[in-house]
Structure 1
Amino acid sequence: MADEVKLFGMWASPYSIRVELALKLKGIPYEYMEEDLSNKSSLLLKYNPVHKKIPVLVHNEKPIAESLVILEYIDETWRNNPVLPQDPYDRAMARFWAKFIDEKLLVTTRKVSFTAGKEQEQAIEEITEQLKQLENELQGKEFFSGHSIGYLDIVANVLVSWFGNVQEALGVDMFTEEKFPILFDWIGKVVKIDIVNECRIPKEKHLDYIRSRLEALKSASK
């Protein structure tokens, strides 16, 4: 019996995009289900009753939630084109930095998005330090995963277009080529990969989306 793979996602979600990228890199056929997060489908709530969030991968009617968990599931289920390192130490380090991106970098990005003045300046300083730490991890490598794109590159793909779009929409200057030449050199290599470009967020649509969300939050807080 052929595998039935569905992905419940949202076009502007970096978490959703990383799962799409992994599926495409492995050549796994899947059905994509776009979710309206302001009006979640009954199927999404059925498949992810705990967090009620995207992405959710449904493989032969078995749901898996949380993007980092999904990436590991994909890698363990479809063994071709492995994305996680084979060496246990390298694999542990890839997981460590993936959690760093999700639990530090993206959390601080939200702080920058939803604060102003002194508080926002402090968050930008914090994010600058975090980006430097991530850049140090990339030092001397072609990709985070070595000589080709892998698990940590898929997770760090959030920097390829999503992060820059958020920065532009906010009108702040925290992620530039002058400050982070190694990360931008990596981005230059990543965007030459066709599959990565297939998963890129449409810039203008994304900018409009971010700005409208920020306006709605401002109005709600008045």
Structure 2
Amino acid sequence: MVSSGVQVVGTTYSTYVNRVQIALNLKSVDFEFIKENLFSKSDLLLKSNPVNKKVPVLIHDGKCICESLVIVQYIDDTWTRNGYSLLPCDPYDRAVARFWAAYFDEKWIPMWREISTAEGEAKEAAVARAVEGLVLLDEAFVQISKGKAYFGGDEIGFLDIVIGTMVNWIKAREVMANVKLLDETKIPGLVRWVDKFISNDVVKNILPSTDEAVEVMNYYRARADGEASNTQSFVILAEVKYLAKCGNLNHLFMKF
């Protein structure tokens, strides 16, 4: 990979941080990953993102870029030497990709979140709305991909990154809420795309598994209910699991 003076401030289990990691990997950009504890935010995070105080933050040659969609587009515009473009070259196609990315973040993810808090008929209605949204995305996939494997065509692109980093969290919600969202009878194209995306070598060592996503969501639910107290232990456990998955525990052991 190319040495580039790039740092990513983030957490292991964040779909928004994962977007940045995947984009940098696709662009063959080397970077330092600085783990953030969101329960005790560092001075680095507070200084680099003083407005929202959230991850991810990309630090490139001392300049800070915030918000995952902005960061991914910055990465695409900045590292162009290998000829790999995340966004389409055609202005209309770029606009379409940005439209669906905004739809997913601003419209669909709130539908997904609503499922976790709704009960009874309200839950059924929330699931129905989320599935309707996925049907729209399935139709968009057919039109945008033009019969190819990804939204980006033959290779992973901007919209694949935006939606794909949520896939195992969607599956986790299915498990926890006992619902079906990724239904092949209703969204066949999107379901096939899901399998292709999460098996991609660039992606599979970054995204949490469905089981890991369930564990994290259960932890946050317990914390919200006042049942979880040892935050630091959870952070360390999460890091151990992540590094073990990548086959490298030396980084962790050097801390003790």
Q: What TM-score do you get using the length of structure 2 for normalisation?
A: 0.80
Q: Which amino acid is the alignment partner of residue 141 of structure 1?
A: G
Q: Which runs of 5+ in 2 are unaligned?
A: 228-256
Q: Which amino acid is the alignment partner of residue 190 of structure 2?
A: L
Q: For each residue in 1:32-63, what CA deviation from the matched residue of structure 2 results, as whole angstroms up to 9, or x when unmatched? A: 01112111111111100000001110001111
Indicate which of 104, 113, 116 corresponds to 2:116: 113
Q: State whether structure 2 residue 27 is matched by structure 1 residue 52.
A: no
* Residues in 2 aligned to 1:132 and 1:204: alpha-carbon distance in whole angstroms: 25
Shift, 1:219, TM fit: 4.9
* Residues in 2 aligned to 1:141 and 1:106: alpha-carbon distance in whole angstroms: 26
Q: For each residue in 1:164-194, what CA deviation from the matched residue of structure 2 results, as whole angstroms up to 9, or x when unmatched? A: 1232123322223333221111112223420
Q: Which runs of 5+ in 1 are unaligned?
A: none
* Residues in 1 aligned to 2:51 and 2:76: alpha-carbon distance in whole angstroms: 24
* Residues in 1 aligned to 2:57 and 2:50: alpha-carbon distance in whole angstroms: 11
Q: RMSD between aligned alpha carbons?
A: 1.7
Q: Which amino acid is the alignment partner of residue 172 of structure 1?
A: V
Residue 141 of structure 1 contacts residue 147 of structure 1 at CA under 8 Å; is this kept in 2?
no
Indicate which of 167, 170, 177 corresponds to 2:174: 167
Indicate which of 111, 129, 152 corresponds to 2:159: 152
* Residues in 1 aligned to 2:174 and 2:12: alpha-carbon distance in whole angstroms: 18
Residue 170 of structure 2 contacts residue 181 of structure 2 at CA under 8 Å; is this kept in 1?
no
* Residues in 1 aligned to 2:152 and 2:100: alpha-carbon distance in whole angstroms: 11
Q: For each residue in 1:75-107, what CA deviation from the matched residue of structure 2 results, as whole angstroms up to 9, or x when unmatched? A: 111013111100000000000000011011111
Aligned twin of 1:123: 126
Flag the 1:205–1:188 CA change in 2: closer, same or farther, 3 A: closer
Q: Which amino acid is the alignment partner of residue 208 of structure 2?
A: I
* Residues in 2 aligned to 1:170 and 1:9: alpha-carbon distance in whole angstroms: 28
Flag the 1:21–1:68 CA change in 2: closer, same or farther, 3 A: same
* Residues in 2 aligned to 1:202 and 1:173: alpha-carbon distance in whole angstroms: 18
Q: Which amino acid is the alignment partner of residue 188 of structure 2?
A: P
Q: Which amino acid is the alignment partner of residue 219 of structure 2?
A: S
Question: 1:22-61 to 2 correspondence within 5 Å?
Answer: 22-61=23-62
**Total equivalences in the alignment:** 219
Aligned twin of 2:215: 208
Aligned twin of 2:18: 17
Shift, 1:137, TM fit: 0.6
Shifted more, 66-75 versus 163-172: the winner is 163-172
Aligned twin of 1:99: 102
Aligned twin of 1:194: 201
Q: Which amino acid is the alignment partner of residue 11 of structure 2?
A: M
Computing the radius of gyration over CA atoms, which structure comes out larger, 1 or 2? 2
Residue 105 of structure 1 contacts residue 127 of structure 1 at CA under 8 Å; is this kept in 2?
yes
* Residues in 1 aligned to 2:166 and 2:219: alpha-carbon distance in whole angstroms: 21
* Residues in 1 aligned to 2:188 and 2:166: alpha-carbon distance in whole angstroms: 13
* Residues in 1 aligned to 2:180 and 2:164: alpha-carbon distance in whole angstroms: 19
Shift, 1:117, TM fit: 2.3
Flag the 1:117–1:158 CA change in 2: closer, same or farther, 3 A: farther
Q: For each residue in 1:184-206, what CA deviation from the matched residue of structure 2 results, as whole angstroms up to 9, or x when unmatched? A: 11112223420011212133332
Shift, 1:218, TM fit: 4.0
Q: State whether structure 2 residue 90 is matched by structure 1 residue 84.
A: no
Q: Among the aligned pairs, what percent are the same residue?
A: 38
Shift, 1:3, TM fit: 2.8
Residue 48 of structure 2 contacts residue 64 of structure 2 at CA under 8 Å; is this kept in 1?
yes
Q: Which amino acid is the alignment partner of residue 171 of structure 2?
A: G
Flag the 1:57–1:38 CA change in 2: closer, same or farther, 3 A: same
